[in-house]
């Protein structure tokens, strides 16, 4: 679960960085992080608390849209495009990225208290990163769509918003943030939503 979430977060950040810089090249595929070492002989993973499996399954499910975001499809408008075309393309990019982050924020916010403390910590960490980004994307798109067609200043402001979002997500490291929570992995290893994330 940790690796799939790391790749999702890194993919979004990389795509936004490339978009803000105006690159038309597709991002290269990130190399998977090394797997966590196997437990030493005789050791055992922390036993999941009652109800932890269902909670972790919902936690994984809240990240489905984010994990499904295809970074290679987040491309900046062509340099030869008119300002009106760039404005339309930037609005679509904001909608695409927001369409992956907003559902995660909404679903995470609705999760009840976790049966294990590590679950609540993970939820807070994710929301602390994703909620401000979601708000920024919504505000940037609203301003861009309200501007007159071909407004160069509005397009430039949207590009700056992309840069800011990319900076925020570049430090989003779910793998690091979820380390030290073996009870979460133990509870989620057989859950369908978590298995789906591991296939990403």
pLDDT, tens digit, for every residue of 75-124?
A: 777 777 899 998 998 899 899 889 989 999 999 999 999 998 888 988 99
Whether 34 is covered by a domain: the verdict is no
Whether 136 is covered by a domain: the verdict is yes
- For residue 181, the model assigns a pLDDT of 73
Buried b or exposed e, range 133-150, using 16+ CB within 10 angstroms:
bbebbeebbeebeebeee
Average pLDDT over residues 63-69: 85
With 0-12 / 13-18 / 19 or more C-beta atoms within 10 angstroms meaning exposed / middle / buried, residue 25 is exposed
- For residue 174, the model assigns a pLDDT of 66
pLDDT more than 70, % of the chain? 70
Counting the structural domains of the chain, the total is 1
Whether 141 is covered by a domain: the verdict is yes
For residue 154, what are the contacts with CB-CB under 8 A and spacing of at least 6? 87, 143, 144, 147, 148
pLDDT for residue 43 is more than 50: no
Long-range contact list for 65-68, CB < 8 A, 24+ apart? Answer: 65/99, 65/100, 65/101, 65/103, 65/104, 66/8, 66/9, 66/12, 66/100, 66/101, 66/103, 66/104, 67/4, 67/5, 67/7, 67/8, 67/197, 67/200, 68/100, 68/200
pLDDT for residue 48 is more than 70: no
**Are 39 and 182 contacting, i.e. CB atoms less than 8 angstroms apart?**
no
Whether 73 is covered by a domain: the verdict is yes
Whether 39 is covered by a domain: the verdict is no
pLDDT, tens digit, for every residue of 127-170?
A: 998 999 999 999 999 999 999 999 999 999 988 888 888 888 77
- For residue 68, the model assigns a pLDDT of 84
pLDDT for residue 33 is more than 60: no
pLDDT for residue 36 is more than 50: no
Q: At 155, list the tokens.
A: 């397009």
- For residue 106, the model assigns a pLDDT of 96
Whether 65 is covered by a domain: the verdict is yes
The rounded distance, in Å, linking the Cα atoms of 2 and 164 is 25
**Are 163 and 76 contacting, i.e. CB atoms less than 8 angstroms apart?**
no
Q: Which residue has the tokens 């190399």?
A: 31
Whether 153 is covered by a domain: the verdict is yes
- For residue 132, the model assigns a pLDDT of 93
Which of helix, strand or coil describes residue 60? helix
pTM (predicted TM-score): 0.73
Q: What is the mean pLDDT of the chain?
A: 76
Give the range among 43-47, 63-67, 186-190 with minimum mean pLDDT.
43-47
- Tell me which residue range forms the domain holding 102: 2-22+50-198
């Amino acid at each position: 679960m940790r690796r799939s979430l790391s790749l999702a977060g890194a993919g979004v950040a990389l795509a936004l960085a490339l978009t803000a810089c105006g690159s038309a090249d597709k991002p290269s595929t990130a190399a998977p992080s090394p797997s966590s070492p196997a437990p030493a002989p005789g050791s055992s993973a922390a036993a999941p608390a009652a109800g932890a499996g269902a909670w972790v399954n919902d936690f994984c499910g809240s990240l489905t849209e984010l994990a499904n975001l295809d970074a290679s499809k987040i491309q900046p408008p062509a340099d030869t495009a008119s300002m009106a075309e760039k404005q339309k393309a930037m609005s679509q990019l904001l909608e695409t990225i927001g369409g992956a982050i907003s559902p995660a924020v909404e679903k995470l916010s609705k999760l009840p208290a976790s049966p294990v403390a590590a679950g609540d910590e993970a939820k807070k960490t994710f929301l602390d990163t994703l909620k401000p980004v979601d708000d920024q994307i919504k505000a940037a798109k609203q301003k861009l769509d309200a501007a007159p067609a071909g407004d160069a200043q509005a397009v430039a402001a949207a590009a700056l918003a992309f840069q800011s979002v990319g900076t925020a997500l570049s430090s989003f490291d779910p793998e690091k943030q979820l380390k030290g929570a073996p009870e979460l992995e133990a509870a989620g290893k057989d859950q369908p939503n978590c298995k789906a994330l591991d296939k990403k």
